[in-house]
Amino acid sequence: MTDTFQSSTTASPLNPRVSKSLGALLGVHAGDSLGATVEFETHGRIQKQYPNGVRDIIGGGPFGWPAGHATDDTDLTRAVLLAYRDRAVAQQGSSTTINFDVVKSAADWSLKWYKGDWPDRTLGEGPVDIGGATEQGLSKYEDTRDPRYCGAGFGMAGNGSLMRCIPTALFAETREERIRDSKAISAFTHNDTRCSISCAVYNEIVAALVDGKSVLEAVECGQETAKELNSPMVEEAISTGYRMPISRYAATGPGDKLPGRTSGYVLQSLSVAIGALTDPRPLEEVLIDVVRLGGDTDTNGAIAGGLLGARDGIEAIPARWLDKLQFRSDFEEIATSLLSKS
């Protein structure tokens, strides 16, 4: 098996925008699948079993995933991606603007996932892994069918919306729409402002990277957005990440520098992702080290993988990883179609 990238949909070289967009989506998927093997494990236990880190997508973990199978991180990213696909389909061939509610569509697809109407799942069978805020928000949405009156409420500040938000960075049409939809798509499950603003900030960083801005410029875009949205806590999370030595923490353990051993707290996951983005090493080595930190390894891998893929492009993701990913072709086909219309 070669480690030279080859698209599953085209043999032509990719332009930078397409490469970075595909890299962002499949970076989420790859980080999720890589981290699923050691989800909830401590740094010390991972070091004993994988002294050089988990270097291949092998599946397993506490939920017994097949290699490359999507966990909730990638599944819900797919739900948001499908919403943007549906908007493009609704608008196709129309000479007038179609008022398509992409937030409601994302919530509808997420509910389908929750109810078991999903690839490789038994119809009606719930997901084997779901966060508390996600479950509360989708249960409320099932009752109300209004995504703007759901969410788990203040105090539920997990990373379950940050892990799925990246399609908005790639396919929203303006900055205003990107920020608005990032917050609203977060809020139908995670409406604590630490979550919704983290999603908006993350997506501004991704959009800047896809537009060809440097890492420093992209991080500055994130800081400016956090300031504009009046969130000092998110600003501090970005600053913390910018100073975070991922390789050293991966080698020696995060200790008390990452309280809760990289728990599912949204601001901690954002910091880890910023630390990964600002690490100059190749995507593969950085993502392996993010997983080595332990804790919420699949989600931290997904969030960091999205930024790294947007930074380096799909060519930086090892082919041996890409070949394993459950939704690789699905993501590539939808994304290239949407990008061709933009």
The answer to whether position 271 is within a domain reads yes
- What span, in angstroms and rounded, lies between the C-alpha atoms of 17 and 331? 15
Kindly state the average pLDDT of the residues 138-153.
92
Structure confidence by residue, pLDDT tens digits, 117-129: 999 888 889 899 9
The answer to whether position 70 is within a domain reads yes
Q: In sequence order, what are the beta bridge partners of 158?
A: 265
Neighbours of 18 (CB within 10 A): 21
Written as one string, the DSSP assignment of 267-310 is HHHHHHHHHHHT--S-HHHHHHHHHHT-SSHHHHHHHHHHHHHH
3-state DSSP call for residue 8? coil
Query: What percentage of the chain carries pLDDT values higher than 70?
Result: 94
CATH number at residue 254: 1.10.4080.10
pLDDT at 10: 47
Is 77:113 a contact under the CB 8 Å cutoff?
no
The answer to whether position 277 is within a domain reads yes
**Residue 254 has what DSSP assignment?**
-
pLDDT at 1: 32
What's the total number of domains in the chain? 1
Average pLDDT, the chain: 93
The alpha carbon dihedral of 35, 39, 40, 46 has a sign of negative
Half-sphere exposure of 151 toward its Cβ, with a 13 Å CA cutoff? 22
Nearest residue to 55 via CA among 284, 311, 306, 251: 284
The answer to whether position 166 is within a domain reads yes
Is 73:28 a contact under the CB 8 Å cutoff?
yes
Kindly state the average pLDDT of the residues 86-107.
86
Return all residues near 26 (Cβ < 8 A) that are at least 6 apart: 309, 314, 317, 322, 325, 328, 331, 332
Q: Annotated binding residue at 71? A: yes
Half-sphere exposure of 4 toward its Cβ, with a 13 Å CA cutoff? 3
Return all residues near 40 (Cβ < 8 A) that are at least 6 apart: 62, 295, 296, 297
Is residue 95 scored above 70 in pLDDT? no
Q: Annotated binding residue at 122? A: no
Q: Annotated binding residue at 56? A: no
Q: Annotated binding residue at 77? A: no
The answer to whether position 62 is within a domain reads yes
Structure confidence by residue, pLDDT tens digits, 252-295: 988 777 755 567 999 999 999 999 999 999 999 999 999 999 99
Kindly state the average pLDDT of the residues 157-163.
96
Q: Annotated binding residue at 298? A: yes
Is 164:76 a contact under the CB 8 Å cutoff?
yes
Using pLDDT thresholds of 50, 70 and 90, give the confidence band for residue 6. Answer: low
3-state DSSP call for residue 116? coil
**53 Rama class: left (phi>0) / alpha (psi -120 to 50) / beta:** left
Domain that residue 210 falls in? 41-89+152-341
Using pLDDT thresholds of 50, 70 and 90, give the confidence band for residue 14. Answer: confident
The alpha helices in the chain, defined as continuous H runs, are: 16-35, 43-49, 72-91, 102-115, 132-144, 166-171, 175-187, 193-210, 215-228, 232-242, 246-252, 259-262, 266-277, 283-292, 297-312, 319-322, 328-341
Q: In sequence order, what are the beta bridge partners of 60?
A: 65
The answer to whether position 273 is within a domain reads yes
The answer to whether position 15 is within a domain reads no
pLDDT at 2: 36
Written as one string, the DSSP assignment of 125-166 is PPPS---HHHHHHHHHHHHH--GGG-S--TT--BSTTGGG-H
Neighbours of 245 (CB within 10 A): 14
3-state DSSP call for residue 331? helix
Kindly state the average pLDDT of the residues 306-327.
98
The answer to whether position 26 is within a domain reads no
Tokens, residue 111: 């509910």
